[in-house]
Structure 1
Amino acid sequence: MSHFIQTLISERYNLFNAILQHIEISLVALVIAIIIAVPIAISVLSHKKVAYVITQFAGVLQTIPSLALLGLLIPFVGIGEVPAVIALVVYAILPIFQNTYIGLTSIDESLDEAADAFGMTKFEKLTKVQLPIALPTIIAGIRQALVMIIGTATLAALIGAGGLGNLILLGIDRNDNTLTIIGALAAALLAIIFSALIYVLQKGKLRYSIAALLLIIAIPVGNGIYHAVQPKQTTITIAGKLGSEPDILINMYKELIEAKNPNTNVVLKPNFGQTSFLFNALKAKQIDIYPEFTGTVLESLVKVPHGQRDTGVTPEKLYGYAKKDLKDQFGFDYLPPMEYNNTYSIIVTKAFADKYHLKNISDLRNIESKLHAGFDLEFLNRPDGYKGLQAKYGLSVTSQSVDAALRYEALRSGKVNVIDGFSTDSQIRQYNFVELKDNHHLFPVYQGAPLVSATLAKEHPAIIDTLNVLAGKITEDEMREMNYQVNVKGKSPAVVARNFLVAHHLLGANQK
């Protein structure tokens, strides 16, 4: 309990900001869903077949996995709040439409006849008779939709939209259950609080309910107007993949850029889940920079005729291939890389390695039937991942997809006995795990470097020069130690990043 309280105190500002972001995303999605679903339900009151088709269609939309929907939206609308809101609206339409339609069609026919007898117009009958009677059912649908939105909105963190999902992902990545619990509890409490507020609306009069809904609308709208009228600065958006290492790197980029360009506002979007999310966001001009690795560029991002690129070359040649292909195919600038090679690793526990005398990846062939692998989904489907292990090492093992943030815990707890990882992962040191030598040279060199949009490179050459100070810096030992400081010692990535820059005199004396 003491650790829970300490974490709550230390993360109070992040928690407060995450709650505000979560509420904003959820309310915006709810308002849009109401604006769409309620008028459609009213318009099809006398068309049962059309209402049935719409209900079925909305039901089908709800069956699309949320993560898949977010991935599909990125190429069209980019990252951030827009795709998150669209996805949440898609899921919220069904309960609001369905309850509105049911509420309005379940009204006693005698009341409709009485309204007609009094000579009411359709609009008068709707506003004075039908909607007041159906209001409790309609609001019940809105309540159901909002609870679902608040729960689903935690996934918005995967595409840089913020919210309480950031804390949950951070806790999973750093193996800190307290952070995960805080994020999950906060989301659950939000759902309970807003559900209770809407329940009160169910018992109120129509005009009070409408006034309350207008107040809800005013919150995100007012926030949007506030940000719109603020003085404009040059804004650079930097994103990073899930994990401590990308988080450290993007904080270094931010420190360097703002130190040399004081009129530039740098926005960080950490903890993206997949490489494809970030790359598509860069193509869609939703972000300006993210750290990427040379091996990943050649294996997963650029289109290269089979056999045209030999990845078993020197790091300098590999970087040259990646830089040229990115420029030719996408117009992106790939800046000079850092020193360390964050290559893939195949990892086992020391006890397992000692028991079966494992030193090289090829040694796994001798105990193939005893292997139960837990590989990250991206590793499972990459030619320089499990597919490469099958082709180059002849390995075919029982494997399952394990989230990148959970694979070390799965190995430590004995759920699996071999996993993929990266050579700079702090957990290797933390748990005294063993990296098996890639004796058939499957994994290419993975040197990290800033991948920059064509627009930024053209319009802000000074920023490019600023980032280039990291070229050739950071050894594997230094990167592993920084990851250890974040994941094990609990230090902030921003603090660790700044400490490194200061220690290596990269910020200038006036920034110390």
Structure 2
Amino acid sequence: MQSIIHILQTQSGGILSALGQHISISLISLFIAAIIAIPLAIILMTHKRIAEVILQITSILQTIPSLALLGILIPLVGIGTVPSIIALVVYAVMPIFQNTYSGLTTIDPTLEEAAEAFGLSRTKKLIKFQLPLAMPMIISGIRIAMVMIIGTATLAALIGAGGLGTYILLGIETNNNALLLIGAVLSAILTLIFSALIKAISKLSLRKMGILLATLVVLFGGYAGYRQVEKSHVSITIAGKLGGEPEILINMYKDLIENDNPNMKVSLKSNFGATSFIYKALQTGSIDIYPEFTGTVLQTLVKTNQPVDQNPEKTYQSAKKLLKEQANMAYLKPMQYQNGYDLAVTKSFAKKYNLKTISDLVKVEDKIHAGFDPDFYQQPAGFQGIKKTYNLEVASVKTMESSIRYKAIANGKVNLVDGYTTDPEIQEYNLQMLKDDKHYFPPYQGAPLMTEKFANEYPEVVKSLNKLAGKISTTDMQKMNYLVTVKHEKASKVAHEYLVSHKLIK
């Protein structure tokens, strides 16, 4: 509870911003879905066969996994709010259409005959008679769609649209239950509030509903217009993957660029999502720069049959060459530290058995009880490769999610874990990384990635970002990650203080 209160106090501005983004995306999506589904149901209420086909199509669309749909949309419409809204509309159309159609087509036939007997025209019958009778079903469909939208909108954070999903995903990524609870609880509260509001709106007359909807359209249209005007003044967009470390790096990029180029404006998209999403965004021009690691480039982004070289400089040069040849990308000079795999033990365990390197584990292998991420344990490039390279066997291995393995070693459940060299938990739990003395793990040095076109158009940006080349030690990044992830200090503050203290900016 103390952690939640601390986050609410230190990150209230970011939380309110995420809440506003979530509400905006949800309401716009619901409104568009209703505008599509309700008139369509009205048109097709006398065309049963066509209505059944439409219902089947919307049902099939709803079965497409959210992440797959977002991945399909990125190359077509880019990243951010637009693909998120399209995906949410796709999921929301079906319940609204189904309920509206059912409400209109299940009205008692005797009442229909009575309306015709009074000589009502088709339009008047719809407005005065059919829609009011079908309204409970329509409202029910809208409420179902709203619940679905608010829940699914959390995935919008994966493609830079923001929202409460940012805190949920960040909480999972950093094993921070406080962040996860803040995002999840606020999403649940939003659902309850909007469900109650929709119920209250259902009691209004059709005329008052129309006035309310028109007001909402004007308000959100004005807000969207303001956002577009605001974005038009931004010349560069920098994104970062999930986590504290990418957020620190992109804030450094921003400070360096704006310090050297006062007339240049930079927009940041932190906690953007997975590698595949952010790289597609760079390819489509939705973002201009993001920090990427050399090992990730060679293993994920480019096609190569060559194994990753253990020499950091050769790895970088290979990644840079292949990115330029295959994707016309510019990969700037890397920083000093490496965010690669490591094996860690407690300092007390290391001191007791004089452990400094991975090779040293061989002499105490019968005492080692390891806790590994499932992927690291199973993949040939992970523990299976370590076993062969170091001729190492251990007493036991437990696989566990990456978010809890550090807690396991802190609680004495295991005494060896895998991780990454800049993880803040190394400092938080007083762990000692074991030196990879046989250089098994490939180099993972971070560097700014951008298109060649952007690099040619903005040489001054390249010059500013190259100030980080060879800078930031592993210890420096561990400390900064600790301050952001564990102490919940603002990434912008931590990044700025590092740049000032190392005289990279004034």
Question: TM-score under structure 1 normalisation?
Answer: 0.88
Aligned residues: 502
Q: How does 1:261-272 map to 2 (within 5 A)?
A: 261-272=261-272
C-alpha distance 28-417 of structure 1, shift in aligned 2 (>3 A): farther
Which residue in the other structure is 2:320 paired with?
A: 323
How big is the shift at 1:386? Answer: 6.2
Deviation of 1:174 (Å): 4.4
Q: CA deviation at 1:157?
A: 1.4
Deviations 1:97-140 (A, max 9, x none): 11111111111112222333344443332223211211121012
Q: How well do the aligned residues superpose, as a CA RMSD in angstroms? A: 3.2
Q: For the Cα contact (< 8 Å) 1:374–1:418, is it kept in 2?
A: no
**Aligned match of 1:480:** 478
Distance 1:147 1:356, change over 3 A: farther
Letter in 1 for 2:25: I
- Matched AA of 1:487: T
- Match of residue 60 from structure 1: 60
The Cα of 1:341 is off from its aligned counterpart by 1.9
Post-superposition offset of 1:242: 1.4
How far, CA to CA, are the matches of 1:28 and 1:291 in structure 2? 32
Any residues of structure 2 matched to 1:4-153 within 5 Å, and which?
4-153=4-153
SS at match of 1:346: strand
Amino acid at match of 1:335: L
Task: Please report how far the alpha carbon of residue 303 of structure 1 lies from its aligned counterpart in structure 2 after TM superposition.
Answer: 0.7
Give the SS at the match of 2:442.
coil
Name stretches of at least 5 consecutive residues in structure 2 with no aligned partner: none
In the alignment, which residue of structure 1 is the partner of 2:455? 457
SS of 2:128 mapped into structure 1: helix
Partner of residue 280, structure 1: 280
Indicate the residue corresponding to 1:224 in structure 2: 224
Q: Residue 491 and residue 115 in structure 1: after superposition, are their counterparts in 2 closer, same or farther (change >3 A)?
A: same
Deviation at 1:350?
A: 6.3
Percent identity, aligned pairs only, is 52
Aligned equivalents of 2:480, 2:338: Cα separation in 1: 15
CA contact (8 A) 1:374 1:410 kept: no
Partner SS for 1:328: helix
Q: Which residue number in structure 2 is paired with residue 431 of structure 1?
A: 429
Task: Tell whether 2:246 aligns with 1:246.
Answer: yes
C-alpha distance in 2, partners of 1:460/1:468? 13
Equivalent positions of 1:72-471 (< 5 A) are 72-230=72-230, 232-304=232-304, 306-307=305-306, 310-312=308-310, 314-347=311-344, 360=358, 363=362, 373-375=372-374, 384-385=381-382, 402=401, 405=403, 407-409=405-407, 412=410, 419-438=417-436, 440-471=438-469
Deviations 1:428-470 (A, max 9, x none): 1211334444455332111110001233212211111111111
Quote how far apart the aligned CAs of 1:342 are: 1.9
Distance 1:119 1:45 in 2: 20
Change (3 A) 1:356 1:417: same
Tell me, which stretches of 5 or more residues in structure 1 are unaligned?
none
Deviation at 1:399, TM superposition (A): 7.3
With normalisation by structure 2, the TM-score equals 0.89
The residue number in structure 2 matching 1:503 is: 501
Q: Does the Cα contact within 8 Å between 1:140 and 1:202 map onto a contact in 2?
A: no
| Cα distance, 1:439–1:2 mapped onto 2, change above 3 Å | closer
* Structure 1 residue 335: Cα displacement: 0.4
| Alpha-carbon distance in 1 for matches of 2:439, 2:117 | 86
Distance in 1, Cα, partners of 2:343 & 2:59: 43
8 Å Cα contact 2:80/2:160 also seen in 1: yes
What SS does the corresponding residue of 1:20 show, helix, strand or coil?
helix
Is the Cα contact below 8 Å between 2:425 and 2:482 reproduced in 1?
Answer: yes
8 Å contact kept, 2:369–2:414:
no
Change (3 A) 1:5 1:244: closer
The secondary structure found in structure 2 opposite 1:241 is coil
Task: Indicate conservation of the 8 Å contact 1:346/1:421, yes or no.
Answer: yes
- Corresponding letter in the other structure for 1:425: D
Q: Distance in 2 between matches of 1:183 and 1:231?
A: 26
Q: Contact 2:371/2:418 (CA < 8 Å) preserved in 1? A: no
1:333 CA drift (Å): 0.6
* Alpha-carbon distance change, 382 to 273 in structure 1, aligned in 2, over 3 angstroms: farther
Q: Following the alignment from structure 1 to structure 2, what is the Cα–Cα distance between the partners of residues 321 and 216?
A: 53
> 143-152 or 360-369, which moves further after superposition?
360-369
Structure 2 letter corresponding to 1:342:
N
Structure 1 residues 228 and 371, CA, compared in 2 at 3 Å: closer, same or farther? closer
- Decide whether aligned partners of structure 1 residues 387 and 366 sit closer, same or farther in structure 2, where only a CA change above 3 A counts: closer
Q: How many Å separate the matches in 2 of 1:414 and 1:124?
A: 74
**Per-residue deviation at 1:340?**
1.2
Letter in 2 for 1:219: L
d(CA) in 2 for partners of 1:317, 1:343: 16
Q: Distance in 2 between matches of 1:315 and 1:407?
A: 28
With over 3 angstroms needed to count, the CA separation of the structure-2 counterparts of 1:406 and 1:369, relative to structure 1, is closer
CA 221–401 in structure 1, closer or farther in 2 if over 3 Å, else same: farther
Kindly provide the CA deviation profile for residues 305-340 of structure 1, in whole angstroms up to 9, marking residues without a partner as x.
x23x5513x322221111111111111110011111
Q: What's the CA shift for 1:221?
A: 1.4
Letter in 2 for 1:259: N
1:134-158 CA-partner distances (Å, limit 9, x unpaired)? 1121012111211221122122112
User: Distance between the aligned counterparts of 1:296 and 1:408, measured in 2?
Assistant: 23
Change (3 A) 1:442 1:139: same
Local SS of the residue matching 2:265 = strand
Aligned partners of 1:416, 1:159: CA distance in 2, in Å? 36
| CA contact 2:146–2:195 (8 Å) conserved in 1 | yes
Q: 2-side partners of 1:365 and 1:34: how far apart?
A: 65
Distance (whole Å) between structure 1 residues aligned to residue 230 and residue 421 of structure 2: 44
* Distance in 1 separating the partners of 2:267 and 2:156: 17
State the one-letter code of the partner of 1:446. Answer: Y
Task: Confirm or deny: 8 A CA contact 1:392 1:442 kept in the other structure.
Answer: yes
Structure 2: distance between partners of 1:118 and 1:394 = 91
Deviations 1:221-254 (A, max 9, x none): 1111223345942421111111211111100001
SS in 2 for 1:291: strand
